[in-house]
Every structure is written in structure tokens, then in C-alpha cells.
Amino acid sequence: MSESSLRVVWVYPDLLSTYGDQGNVLVVERRARRRGLTVDRVDVRSDERVPTSGDIYLIGGGEDRPQRLATERLRRDGGLERAAGNGAIIFTVCAGYQIVGNEFINDLGEREPGLGLLDVASTRGTEDRCVGDVIADIDERLGLPQLTGFENHQGITHLGPGVRPLARLRMGRGNGTGDGTEGAWQETVFGTYMHGPVLARNPQLADLLLKLALDVNALPPIDDRWYEALRAERMAAAVQPG
């Protein structure tokens, strides 16, 4: 795999990079390089065009106003939609998850059209924020172990018929609908409310993105002792009483 190359695009780090979500792009980049891949990482600020030639696009969380500004600029730009049409892998967290859906409620209390890359629609909950650790069983079609992460949001995301839940909750509130779902995925587009950063807590999920981007069934093994120790520590802490 040493002759393979990968283009990783971090979308709008100046607007969407809360709760350590930039760690997701660092994990993808590092795990690719450790397998001998040449990685071209592109950080695209909100005043720049989104390239359409990326292999993996990552979008993080953000506050309400930056989320609206990011959505408006992404709609005008059109690059992310074209990349999705080219089959690029798109992984989104929290505000990014809502942005790639059909619509959400913005900071002005208005319905904001999303990019329509995931068949989901988000509203704003009237109860307390969803804050705390999440443990969930990932969709069996993806063939990965339990997911762990940290949620901090007030969104309620309803899934349409065109998507599948990313995972089923064992702990946490996930999409906030009370149906036990967390996140969503549709072909090569993924969304979740989990921070952590989620790909550091779940390295095999990062590897799934790499395999999809490279169109391979397996990757060369690497030493995952550090990642697995972090994962085990966070999962144990989540189930501790009190």
C-alpha cells in the first residue's frame, strides 16, 4: 500500500471545530500514514473553496451561529455536494451532522436548509441538553465493535427512510428522539453526535473510512495498544456509578 495516496479534507476548521473534533482528522491522517500511505491533508477555511477531489471529508461541531454561517457558505460553494456525488467519504459530527441533513433550526429560530446529503431533519429540543457519555452498538452492516463517545447537544434528529441509524444506544440519548438511535449513515455519508474525538475513541471506525476510501476489504495491522487503552478506560468510566 506504500504507493497509495489519500486526500483528507478538514472542512471549515475556523467555524466547526469544537470539543476536540479536529482530532478526527489527525487520527485519520496518522492511521493512514502508519500504513505507508501518502496523505495530502487540506484544511479548508470558510473563505476558501471546498475541493471536489478529496477522498475523505471531515466536519466537526460548532455553536449555533457558526453552524448557520457554515451552512450558508457550503450551500453557495457546492463543492461538498459534488464531492459526495463523486463517491467521497464524508464523516460529520454534531453541527456537521445537522448541516449535511435536509434541515435544522438555526440560531435565529428559523428552519435552515441543509445540504441534503443525509435523509435526516433536526429540530431543537425543549428539555435539558443531551450531555454525557454514549455507548452504542454500531449497525451490524458495518461490522465494528461498540462505539463510545461524548455528546453535548440540544438537537433532535429524525431519520428519514433513506438512512440507517449509525448505532443503537446502550447509554446516552443519541438522536434525542427516544427511539434508541444514534447518528445515521447513507452510502458514503456518516453523521453522529459523538465527540471524544470519536475516531480516537473508536479507531476501527477511522479504519472503516480508510477502507471505504481505498476500496479495500482490509488494512495492514498496526499497534493499537494506546487506542485500545483509551477506549477501554472511557468505556469503563462511562459505566461507573455516580
Is 130 tagged catalytic? no
Q: Which residues pair with 185 in a beta bridge?
A: 164, 190
What number is the average pLDDT over the span 38-62? 97
| pLDDT tens digits, one per residue of 176-210 | 999 999 999 999 999 999 999 999 999 999 999 99
| pLDDT tens digits, one per residue of 111-141 | 999 999 999 999 998 778 999 999 999 999 9
Is 153 tagged catalytic? no
- Sort strands 56-59 and 89-93 into parallel, antiparallel or unpaired: parallel
| pLDDT tens digits, one per residue of 51-75 | 999 999 999 999 999 999 999 999 9
What's the whole-number average pLDDT of the chain? 94
Domain that holds residue 97: 5-238
Phi/psi region, residue 143 (left: phi>0; alpha: psi -120 to 50; beta: rest), is left
Catalytic, out of 94, 130, 153, 158: 94
* DSSP helix, strand, coil percent of the chain (3-state; round to 5): 30, 30, 40
Give residue 240's pLDDT.
Answer: 83
Rounded Cα distance, 132 and 162, in Å: 28
Give residue 1's pLDDT.
Answer: 43
Question: For 25, how many CA atoms within 13 A lie in the half-sphere containing its CB?
Answer: 26
Number of domains in the chain: 1
Residue 99: name the closest of 84, 86, 87 by CA.
Answer: 84
Give residue 128's pLDDT.
Answer: 83
Residues 6+ apart with CB under 8 A from 94: 18, 19, 21, 60, 61, 62, 152, 153, 155, 192, 193, 195
Query: Could you tell me the CATH number of the domain that includes residue 169?
Result: 3.40.50.880
